[in-house]
Structure 1
Amino acid sequence: MTLSLAAVLAESAVRRPDHPAIEFAGARLTYRELWFRARQYAAVLDERGTRPGDRVALLLPNGLEFPAAYFAVLALGAVVVPMHALLKATEIEYVLRDSGAHVLICAGSLLAEGRKGAAVAEVPLLAVRADAECEAPRLDVLAEHAEPIAAHRPCAPGDLAVILYTSGTTGRPKGAMLTQLSITMNVTVGMLSPFDFRAEDVLFGCLPLFHTFGQICGMLTCFRAGATMVLTDRFDAAGALDLMVAHRCTVFMGVPTMYLALLDAAAATPLRPPLDRAFSGGSALPVKVLEEFQATFGCTIYEGYGLTETSPVVAYNQRAWPCKPGTVGRPIWGVEVEIARADLEGRIELLRAGEVGEIVIRGHNVMVGYLGRPEATAEVLVDGWFRSGDLGVKDADGYLSIIDRKKDLVLRGGYNVYPRELEEMLVHHPAIAQVAVIGVPHERHGEEVCAVVIPRADRTPDEALGAEIVAWSRERMAAYKYPRLVEFVDAFPLGPSGKVLKRELAQWFGAERRIRPPAARGTCQGDQGR
């Protein structure tokens, strides 16, 4: 049996050759044109010795070059290694060495760091969209006169397709190895349900393509359906509304910070795009935001759950069954999700409905392991299950709710405090625009609960407001869990998927406070000893 992820684009180019595949910055490529360009890129890589199984790293921002290079690598049976576009030279060097990259394809705008990282790692570099003075070989220029390869090479289902690096919240990033089968199945299943993509859909592509949400749920699923992706290189809420209206976008995929920004932008304009459905992932979306978005845009947000290591989709709310706000829906087709705890010997023990434990997953979507890290792989792949590191609970109907990351759990005085639960409540305070709850070291209680708040524009972030939030929380939350500390910031530190980086907040507001946030604007401390 052969199976190639490259067929996602190749087959749509046959079925819908003249349909727009991607639009970016005023330029448009049909499926025929995009596949032709990808095969030209593949011809250049082939001439330079890229063979099946070789790792090809991409240091590319959103643009027409990303899908062309991505599918060029896949067409040769090689392995794509996408990298965060904002990495510095030492980080680029690390990924190139760790992945054993054969070559780096780097955007001209990112050459300052990319060239240095590639040079130290001793990896050849091909530039795209670079100026005429660029000394590196230019892939796009060489491809202009290249005879495209005839077709994509066959692969086995278990062959690697993509290596995606984790965000490195604990130690250095690890490369999750995803196969031709795992991604192709996740894309095909996701296209049908939960994303319900149709050929006439127009996706607003504002997520970074180097990240699993934008790359697999967005780009690959859209191309698998033969639909159109309107791509932007950065998310700006007001500009996003304009583009979605102009292109009549029907599907939006985003992270919670994007939905909050869209609601703010919508308050200043009557423009509304013809959105049919929206999908949220990356981190928890407060139910209040779901309701406000529905009322403002007339469009349901379906919240789901996935991980880099699971290709990525695990579970989603969707049209196929009743939506339950506050949950991430049911597992997708072919994937099992359970709640478990590890016994004394480290084996998986499954729990009953209603019990809180670690979310474990098995199915076609699970990675084969972390590249070059057998011990780390053995820690998360146990008894045939992938241990997510997330805490969750399933109800009697099989709906999954994410309680929190195990690493984000706050242990105050021996009691478990789940930050997401508190965040869901705190967003209802009239002065709070956004909030993230963290634990900070405390001599008596071990950890103290701290609410890091972005206040609404009409409220002053001072000690009086902090005391108000503490008092408000005390009335509505159990004594062991309400936040005694309130800190104010102008913005949260965000990861590539738009997820709030709580580890950075913990550094900013930890007991020693060695690192102060540039946007910090005030603090309040209340009844910590109680």
Structure 2
Amino acid sequence: MGTLGFWRLAQADPEWIAVVDPDGTQHRAGDLLARSNRLVHGLRELGLKPGDGICGLAPNGADGLVLYLAALQAGWYYTPVNWHLTGHEIAYIVSDSEAKAFFVHPRHLKDGAIGAEAIEPDRRFLLGEAGDEGAGFRPVADLTDGQPDTAPADRTAGATMHYTSGTTGKPKGVRRRLNGLDPDDAAELMTFLLGLFGITPGRPNAHLVTSPSYHTAVTQFGGTALHMGHTLIYMDRWDAEEMLRLCERHRVTSSHMVPTHFKRLLSLPEKTRERYDLSSLTWMIHAAAPCPVPVKWAMFEWWGDCVYEYYAATEGGGTLATPEGWKSHPGTVGSAWPISELLIADDQGEAVATGTPGTIYMKMMGVPFEYKGDPAKTAANRLKDYFTVGDIGYLDEDGFLYLCDRKADMIISGGANIYPAEIENELMVHPKVADVAVFGIPDEEWGEQIKAVVEPAEGVRPGPELVAELLASLEGRLARMKWPKTVDFIAEMPREPNGKLLKRKLRDPYWEGHDRAI
């Protein structure tokens, strides 16, 4: 211990450019360190103690990162709030997390002001430059002006407390006991995860943040890269060519992506793709959704052996597919991390045979988690000391995991289990498809029938001819019982910025007045 951790690195090299904001503003490590120190001193004067929590509603960039760096060196829980939520949903998280301070960026003031009603007026703070005004908020300068830049006494490691996306019921905070370690030592332990991918500490390394920082994985990978001495390059919103430009300009070595990004990148004209020098790319990591095998092969052909994949959950544990591992087991999401174990179980909780689909359970060494304020949900998702998020998959004889789908998304038609992800992967590779979602809708005879909703590629006209072409493309690749019975078109698929498909938005209208079997 003793060479990594942002606070330690910033003291040793305050001139290091630690962050580049989406507008190109560069932030020195020493300045970020001073800001986070002043914030700790100010919040302690407000009465915050180890174990308390703060919430932040801030876009990608240094302002939100300073909240993270303050909390993680003062023993607090930091909850970054999804800025796509409504004001009332934000208020729920501020209240449920028992936040002792709430920070809002001027960009999100409208919904942030509604969310702030869940906390006392003197604990609501507006981020940004002095002079930014927001009704009912104190400027953050009230906390930090006159506070020393020096390291606070009695530093102790805090943690992030992310809220699950709430696909069933209200979102829950995933909370772990604080470990009581020195913050830099705790940060150094965090680098174990990136070490699994072969990522090395030190400069020159740059990590491109492509998705909103309120997502667990984005915070984890970006924060850990920073603790390893890498420069964080923030994107405000993802754009395919802009990503390539940033990779060339900043000599990006790593990023965290989703398969939808790959599909959009591959749809760029070849001349555009060839225009950028991507030779610095070393660890381009993706997760969050299944990646069609042909799409992954195309990325290897373009970028070389720098594409890594993993499967994990906010709750902990996971798998890793190196380029070599994936190429020898195409379609896998990898084998278990050294600190993680997998169990595939049937509905009775018994382990299933190799190659047999079942519910995926995981566990990870270290501190167990709980859903804050919901011991029933915590217990319901457990099997012995394993947990599940409801995904279905199977292990091959080499211990590599393959995903089928989420249990809640599985279609039961005529008594047969059909996995929409398999159908989506086959349709997604069609050049006229930009995005696709497959789900079951009510059918009096079969129980459920297969519905596909397609976002056509740019310039492609939707209609019966396109439906016929898409279905014909499945011939010989997918059993006819798995073909969609009907295909609808949509201008833009409802996805979260991290790539997660909001399938319920598409499916629920069809089920009004019907009971789903699952």
After TM superposition, is the score higher than 0.5? yes
AA in 1 matched with 2:193: G
AA in 1 matched with 2:88: T
The partner residue of 1:68 within 66, 79, 104 is: 66
| Displacement of 1:256 | 1.6
The partner residue of 2:115 within 114, 117, 124 is: 117
Question: TM-score, length-normalised on structure 2?
Answer: 0.89
Which one is further off, 459-468 or 118-127?
118-127
Unaligned runs of 5+ in 1: 515-530
- State whether structure 2 residue 440 is matched by structure 1 residue 439: yes
Query: What SS does structure 1 have at the residue aligned with 2:379?
Result: helix
Question: TM-score, length-normalised on structure 1?
Answer: 0.87
> Could you tell me whether the CA contact under 8 Å between 1:252 and 1:279 is conserved in 2?
yes
Pick closer, same or farther for the CA change 1:427–1:109 going to 2, 3 Å: closer
- State whether structure 2 residue 237 is matched by structure 1 residue 238: no
Which one is further off, 98-107 or 495-504?
495-504
Which one is further off, 327-336 or 265-274?
265-274
Q: How does 1:50-129 map to 2 (within 5 A)?
A: 50-122=48-120, 124-129=123-128
The partner residue of 1:162 within 160, 165, 173 is: 160
Query: What SS does structure 1 have at the residue aligned with 2:493?
Result: coil
| Displacement of 1:488 | 1.2
> Could you tell me whether the CA contact under 8 Å between 1:390 and 1:404 is conserved in 2?
yes
Give the CA RMSD over aligned residues: 2.7
Whole-Å separation in 2 of the counterparts to 1:385 and 1:350: 12
Which one is further off, 423-432 or 390-399?
423-432
| Displacement of 1:336 | 0.8
Query: What SS does structure 2 have at the residue aligned with 1:148?
Result: coil
Pick closer, same or farther for the CA change 1:428–1:259 going to 2, 3 Å: closer
- State whether structure 2 residue 27 is matched by structure 1 residue 21: no
Whole-Å separation in 1 of the counterparts to 2:394 and 2:456: 31
> Could you tell me whether the CA contact under 8 Å between 1:207 and 1:213 is conserved in 2?
no
| Displacement of 1:49 | 1.2
| Displacement of 1:232 | 1.7
> Could you tell me whether the CA contact under 8 Å between 2:206 and 2:233 is conserved in 1?
yes
Pick closer, same or farther for the CA change 1:152–1:145 going to 2, 3 Å: same
Whole-Å separation in 2 of the counterparts to 1:8 and 1:103: 25
Q: How does 1:292-441 map to 2 (within 5 A)?
A: 292-298=298-304, 300-310=306-316, 314-318=318-322, 323=327, 324-343=329-348, 348-364=349-365, 367-441=368-442
> Could you tell me whether the CA contact under 8 Å between 1:366 and 1:386 is conserved in 2?
no
Identify the residue that residue 208 of structure 1 maps to in structure 2.
Answer: 212
Pick closer, same or farther for the CA change 1:464–1:513 going to 2, 3 Å: farther
Whole-Å separation in 2 of the counterparts to 1:511 and 1:487: 16
Whole-Å separation in 1 of the counterparts to 2:153 and 2:47: 16
| Displacement of 1:397 | 1.1
Query: What SS does structure 1 have at the residue aligned with 2:5?
Result: helix
The partner residue of 2:32 within 13, 28, 34 is: 34
| Displacement of 1:67 | 1.2
> Could you tell me whether the CA contact under 8 Å between 2:94 and 2:118 is conserved in 1?
no
Whole-Å separation in 2 of the counterparts to 1:279 and 1:140: 38
AA in 2 matched with 1:231: Y
> Could you tell me whether the CA contact under 8 Å between 2:435 and 2:493 is conserved in 1?
no
| Displacement of 1:243 | 1.6
Whole-Å separation in 1 of the counterparts to 2:153 and 2:483: 57
| Displacement of 1:100 | 1.2
Query: What SS does structure 1 have at the residue aligned with 2:495?
Result: coil
The partner residue of 1:288 within 279, 284, 294 is: 294
Pick closer, same or farther for the CA change 1:17–1:65 going to 2, 3 Å: same
Percent identity among equivalent residues?
31
AA in 1 matched with 2:284: A
Query: What SS does structure 1 have at the residue aligned with 2:388?
Result: strand
Pick closer, same or farther for the CA change 1:15–1:367 going to 2, 3 Å: farther
| Displacement of 1:464 | 2.2
Whole-Å separation in 2 of the counterparts to 1:428 and 1:50: 52
AA in 1 matched with 2:56: L
Whole-Å separation in 1 of the counterparts to 2:118 and 2:223: 33
Pick closer, same or farther for the CA change 1:239–1:319 going to 2, 3 Å: closer
Pick closer, same or farther for the CA change 1:315–1:12 going to 2, 3 Å: farther
Query: What SS does structure 2 have at the residue aligned with 1:436?
Result: strand
Whole-Å separation in 2 of the counterparts to 1:327 and 1:412: 26
- State whether structure 2 residue 201 is matched by structure 1 residue 198: yes
Q: How many residues align?
A: 499
| Displacement of 1:234 | 1.4
Write the deviation string for residues 357-413 of structure 1: whole angstroms up to 9, x where unpaired: 111111136752110111111101231111221101111111111111111111111
> Could you tell me whether the CA contact under 8 Å between 2:411 and 2:418 is conserved in 1?
yes
| Displacement of 1:295 | 2.3
| Displacement of 1:62 | 0.5
